[in-house]
Structures are given as C-alpha cells and as structure tokens.
Amino acid sequence: MSDEVKAPAAGERPARPFGERSGGGDRPRFGGGGGAGRSGPGGPPREGGRKFFRRKKVCKFCTEKIADINYKDYRLLGQFVAESGKIVPRRLTGVCSPHQHRLASAIKQARNIALLPFAGRAS
C-alpha cells in the first residue's frame, strides 16, 4: 500500500519490523496511523507529525440498530472475519464490547455448522 512506502520516509518512528497488513499483534497505543489497511487519518497529509488522531470508528450494530446477530446470516458475519478465517479484533472494526461478544458467539456457531470456515478463505 502506498502508506507503507511513505512511512519509512517520515523518519520519525522507528522502522517497523514487518509490513503489517491488519495490525495483528501490533501496539495499538500509537495514536494515528497505526492500522494499515484502514483509510488514513483525514487531515494534514502524513509527513511525520502524527499529532492528529484517527477518526473514532463507530459500532456498526449500534448505528444501524441491528439487534439480531444470528449465526444464520453468514454474509453479515463474514464482514467481521479476516481472510484467514480469524475473527477480527474490535479495535479494527470499531464494534462495541457487548456486540463483539455476540458476534463472536455467532461466528463460532456458524463455523460449527459449516457456514463459515475455521481457517482459510470463505467460499
């Protein structure tokens, strides 16, 4: 991604060991520019001064008032599952805690009934 190319040129932050795609296991504490794979923070272009913070991601279920998170609607659940089949952490999707719990149980139920895979790309 073009973001990755600009980051080493900034020079302010230490070089990251690997080019992360979805922030797996990386420190979430750094304000701004942490998640590669999300749209960059709107605001001044990135030149090394990351004083602005990324916009607050909102919970999709709270805003759209989706009350029913069912294991049967695999398309909705599939949005919160990574390419590898893993459940995406809520710091990346912005889901609130109670909804993330329900989402996780629904995904696990869907996995058990072969609507979602345990590992690998969903067909």
- Residues 6 or more apart in contact with residue 27 via CB below 8 angstroms: 34
Q: Given the complex with other proteins, which of 50 and 74 has the nearer CB atom?
A: 74
The kind and range of the H/E element at 90 are helix 90-93
Residue 111 near other proteins by CB under 8 A: yes
> Shortest approach of other proteins to residue 87 CB, angstroms?
14
Instruction: Give 1-17 as a DSSP string.
Output: -HHHHHHHHH-SSPPPS
For the purposes of burial, counting CB atoms within 10 Å of the CB of 81, is it exposed (0-12), middle (13-18) or buried (19 or more)? buried
Q: Given the complex with other proteins, which of 22 and 109 has the nearer CB atom?
A: 109
Residue 25 near other proteins by CB under 8 A: no
CA 34/CA 89 separation, integer angstroms: 14
What residues between 52 and 91 interact with other proteins by CB under 8 A?
65, 67-68, 71-72
Q: Which stretch binds other proteins (CB under 8 A): 25-33, 51-59, 87-95, 112-120?
A: 112-120
Residue 114 near other proteins by CB under 8 A: yes
Count of chain residues binding other proteins (CB under 8 A): 19
Q: Given the complex with other proteins, which of 7 and 95 has the nearer CB atom?
A: 95
Looking up tokens 């590898």 gives 84
- Residues 6 or more apart in contact with residue 64 via CB below 8 angstroms: none
Q: Given the rule CB under 8 A, which residues bind other proteins?
A: 65, 67-68, 71-72, 98, 102, 109, 111-118, 120, 122-123
